[in-house]
């Protein structure tokens, strides 16, 4: 998203200099905006400014209702001084659901609690069905299209957890026109591999995969059925740990770090690797073929190691239309390689073999796919925009690839408050909420963040803040 503005709960835009309200920090003035976050100097904290997400702010004087926002804000500020100790005490209370308690704690921090995210996801059944259909198929691509705040990132979070629970490795990156532009294939690949995670490992690393294949001749030998010009040398270095420096450099090489392939190639000779030279992983923008092939190799090796495959997830930090025309063209070519690596030929809107192959003979010889049946899937979350949709039409012709996210309907917003309330009651069984009180909470949240504004994250945060106030007796009776 460009730094000139960001949607708020009432559909207006924030700009530097605007007065805003925050549920905990109170009133303040926007200093700067970038990448989904606002730098705000709050009246109650005249020192250093705070950096907060757009969706935690409400513009002063909007139609959302200053009175309701003031009630939520003032109660949350009073409650925040007491929450930590009280929460720890209530977690130990008899009958408390520890997992639900941890989920509520995550929601307070604006983090999606994977273990209970499905419990408060409403109105996205069709989108989730489309994602899980791809997961069951073992390969494919889906593009989540929606306006700001429609829950694209939430669905990615939910699906990432579901994919690993189903036995897939995942690799996730956030697209950013400045830091990780899709027009630079190596930067994009490096960002993805920094988040590469096996389903049975808590931390990002390819080590569990390599450990499972460490004695596989099919992956270790030049004439092996699963030989990879990129991954096989790294597996050999993983297996022979006598040279720890070489091991670390080979790991960094296949993860897309800045490694001099020529210098590394000389060291690889000590592993009796004499068949072929290592190929440099270039960031030249036309070499998308190398990285599409590499992701297919990772996916196939994942299946060989006993996992189900690899799911790649790409989230958008800012609108990709912030790229200039040339970089958009290059980004479209990189995405075309990803589409060709994940979708069958008849689902593509272009001829994959006409994609640029690279200038060197070794690169031209690389097939688009590492294996014909490689279990590679990709999910892209993008802001709906005419330019994005026009580029998408040049890549895929299969309508099932597109998943449209619409704004929440008012009744769905009310149901979301109910779901969060159920989760809260499981975490804090001492909190009594009858039907009348639930309706009161729904009215108060709706007055602050209208349910039809399509921003579920705001609704969730406001609901948790109000429930905290209720639990500590700071919710005004007349609210």
pLDDT-based confidence at residue 458 (cuts at 50, 70, 90): confident
* Cα distance between residue 107 and residue 343, in whole Å: 35
Tokens of 331: 């980004």
Tokens of 74: 């003032």
177: closest CA among 384, 323, 33, 36? 323
Over range 152-174, report the average pLDDT: 90
Tell me the range of 10-24, 92-106, 240-254 where mean pLDDT is highest: 240-254
pLDDT higher than 90, residue 387: no
Residue identified by tokens 């192959």 is: 357
Cβ-contact 125, 137 below 8 angstroms: no
pLDDT higher than 70, residue 295: yes
Q: What is the mean pLDDT of the chain?
A: 80
Torsion, CA 250, CA 256, CA 257, CA 261, rounded to 10 = 60
Q: What share of the chain is helix, strand, coil (3-state, %, to 5)?
A: 50, 15, 35
Torsion, CA 350, CA 281, CA 329, CA 390, rounded to 10 = 50
Tell me the range of 26-30, 31-35, 62-66, 295-299 where mean pLDDT is highest: 295-299
> Who has greater pLDDT, 240 or 60?
240
Strands 37-42 and 50-53: antiparallel
Sign of the Cα torsion 294, 299, 300, 306 reads positive
pLDDT, residue 140, reads 94
pLDDT, residue 284, reads 67
pLDDT, residue 450, reads 73
> Who has greater pLDDT, 246 or 207?
207
* Cα distance between residue 143 and residue 403, in whole Å: 6
pLDDT higher than 50, residue 66: no
pLDDT, residue 313, reads 95
Domains and CATH numbers, the chain: 1-63 (2.30.30.940), 66-123+408-479 (no CATH), 125-404 (no CATH)
Q: Is the pTM of this model over 0.85?
A: no
pLDDT, residue 11, reads 37
pLDDT, residue 96, reads 65
pLDDT higher than 80, residue 217: yes
pLDDT, residue 94, reads 45
pLDDT, residue 212, reads 96
Cβ-contact 311, 169 below 8 angstroms: yes
Cβ-contact 365, 334 below 8 angstroms: no
SS3 sequence of 99-119: HHHHHHHHHHCCCCCHHHHHH
pLDDT higher than 90, residue 210: yes
Residue identified by tokens 């609690």 is: 113
Range with the poorest average pLDDT among 43-52, 142-151, 334-343 = 43-52
pLDDT, residue 353, reads 85
Over range 391-398, report the average pLDDT: 86
pLDDT-based confidence at residue 69 (cuts at 50, 70, 90): very low
pLDDT, residue 158, reads 85
pLDDT higher than 60, residue 153: yes
pLDDT higher than 80, residue 446: yes
C-beta atoms surrounding 332 within 10 Å: 21
Range with the poorest average pLDDT among 58-67, 266-275, 293-302, 308-317 = 58-67
pLDDT, residue 76, reads 44
374: closest CA among 272, 300, 466? 300
pLDDT-based confidence at residue 266 (cuts at 50, 70, 90): confident
Q: Which residues of 350-378 are buried (b: 16+ CB within 10 A; e: fewer)?
A: bebeebebbeeeebeebebbbbeebbbbb
Q: What are phi and psi of 255, to 5 degrees?
A: -90, 0
pLDDT, residue 93, reads 47
């Amino acid at each position: 998203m460009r730094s000139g503005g960001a949607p708020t709960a009432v559909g207006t835009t924030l700009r530097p200099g605007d007065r805003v309200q925050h549920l905990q920090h109170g009133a303040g003035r926007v200093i700067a905006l970038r990448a989904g976050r606002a730098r705000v100097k709050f009246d109650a904290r005249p020192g250093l400014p705070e950096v907060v997400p757009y969706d935690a702010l409400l513009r002063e004087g909007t139609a959302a209702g200053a009175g309701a926002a003031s009630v939520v804000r003032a109660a949350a500020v009073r409650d925040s001084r007491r929450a930590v100790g009280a929460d720890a005490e209530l977690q130990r209370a008899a009958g408390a659901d520890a997992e639900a308690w941890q989920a509520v704690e995550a929601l307070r921090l604006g983090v999606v609690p994977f273990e209970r995210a499905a419990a408060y996801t409403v109105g996205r059944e069709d989108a989730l069905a489309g994602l899980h259909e791809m997961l069951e198929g073992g390969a494919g691509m889906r593009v989540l299209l929606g306006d700001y705040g429609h829950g694209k990132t939430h669905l990615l979070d939910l699906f990432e957890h579901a994919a690993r629970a189903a036995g897939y490795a995942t690799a996730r990156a956030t697209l950013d026109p400045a830091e990780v532009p899709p027009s630079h294939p190596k930067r994009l690949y490096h960002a993805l591999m920094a988040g590469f995670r096996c389903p049975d490992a808590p931390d990002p690393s390819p080590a569990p995969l390599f450990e499972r294949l460490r004695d596989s001749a099919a992956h270790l030998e030049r004439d092996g059925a699963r030989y990879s010009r990129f991954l096989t040398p790294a597996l050999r270095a993983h297996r022979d740990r006598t040279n720890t420096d070489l091991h670390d450099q080979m790991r960094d090489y296949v993860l897309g770090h800045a490694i001099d392939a020529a210098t590394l190639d000389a060291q690889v000779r000590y592993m009796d690797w004499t068949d072929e030279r290592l190929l440099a992983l270039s960031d030249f923008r036309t070499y998308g073929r190398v990285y599409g092939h590499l992701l297919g190799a990772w996916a196939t090796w994942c299946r060989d190691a006993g996992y189900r495959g690899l799911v790649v997830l790409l989230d958008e930090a800012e609108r990709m239309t912030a790229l200039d025309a040339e970089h958009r063209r290059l980004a479209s070519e990189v995405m075309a390689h990803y589409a060709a690596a994940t979708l069958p030929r008849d689902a593509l809107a272009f001829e994959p073999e006409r994609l640029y192959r690279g200038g060197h003979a070794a690169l031209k010889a690389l097939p688009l796919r590492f294996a014909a049946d490689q279990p590679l899937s990709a999910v892209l979350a993008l802001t709906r925009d005419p330019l994005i949709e026009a580029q998408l039409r040049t890549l895929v012709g299969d309508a099932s690839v597109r998943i449209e996210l619409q704004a929440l309907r008012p009744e769905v917003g009310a149901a979301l408050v109910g779901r969060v309330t159920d989760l809260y009651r499981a975490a804090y069984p001492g909190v009594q909420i009858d039907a009348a009180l639930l309706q009161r909470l729904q009215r108060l949240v709706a007055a602050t963040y209208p349910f039809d504004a399509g921003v579920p994250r705001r609704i969730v945060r406001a609901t948790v803040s109000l429930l905290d106030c209720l639990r500590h007796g700071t919710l005004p009776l007349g609210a």
